[in-house]
Structure 1
Amino acid sequence: MTVFEFSLRLGTALLAGLAIGFERQWHHKTAGLRTNMLVAMGAAVFVLLSISIADVASGVDVSRITAQVVTGVGFLGAGIIFREGSNVHGLTSAATVWCSAAIGCLAATGMYMETLVASVFVIFINSLLMPLDKWLNNRK
């Protein structure tokens, strides 16, 4: 992989994390701009590393590192969730961080259109469905 391709894929992951994180920060939610950018970038770096290792060594399973990204980000997301009495907060932020990692993985594999579509879907769910979510929670 060339330095340009590496930079393009990593930059795509950063931009996707930026867009998702901007929406979270705009709505004053936990795990905002920097968190989502770092998670998307970190996931992309791990996937790019596995791709680079596979290019050098034969018989390497590139999915092993990606599988560990899923596990690691799940652990990170658990730290975002907290319980206050009978209420649980942070589930959506944790799920968004998980999605940011997945989108970073997409970007790292060069799936640019898929990265865009997934990012738009996450932003749509978090921002445009918020009024519907509030309405459903407040109905009697």
Structure 2
Amino acid sequence: MHLAYPAVLSVLLFSVGLYGVLARRNAILVLMAVELMLNAVNLNLVAFDVWLRDTLHAGQALTLFTVAVAAAEIGIGLALVLLVYRNRGTSDVDRLRDLTEHPGDDDESAYVEQPATTDTGAGPLPGQVTPAGRTTA
């Protein structure tokens, strides 16, 4: 078997996956592009395993590990995308740059208690700045 055919196919798959990661804005499409890149690596591992005629079949064993990692990555990645979509209403990667809540959302910062005032109606306390900018004695 010629090694050039699966290697060229692997390079093409990896290039399409890399383009998908860099150009896509939807998080699900980015995850699909990462899967394409992992499948290109798997193709290379199996092709080199066959080409080298390895008796231990290390390339195929590594491919099994890569498939397991890819399955875990897709499971966790899709769970995160669904959680972000539920909270933010979008899965657009460009709009998810910050991890803070947007103003107007129901967040805890709107309910922070203000410091208690010391105004008892008896006038300013000693050392307190009055509205005119003067410090009282």
TM-score range, shorter chain: 0.3 to 0.5
TM-score with structure 1 setting the length: 0.39
Which has the higher relative contact order, 1 or 2, with Cα contacts under 8 A spaced 6 or more apart? 1
Q: Which has the larger radius of gyration?
A: 2
| Structure 1 or 2: more strand by fraction | 1
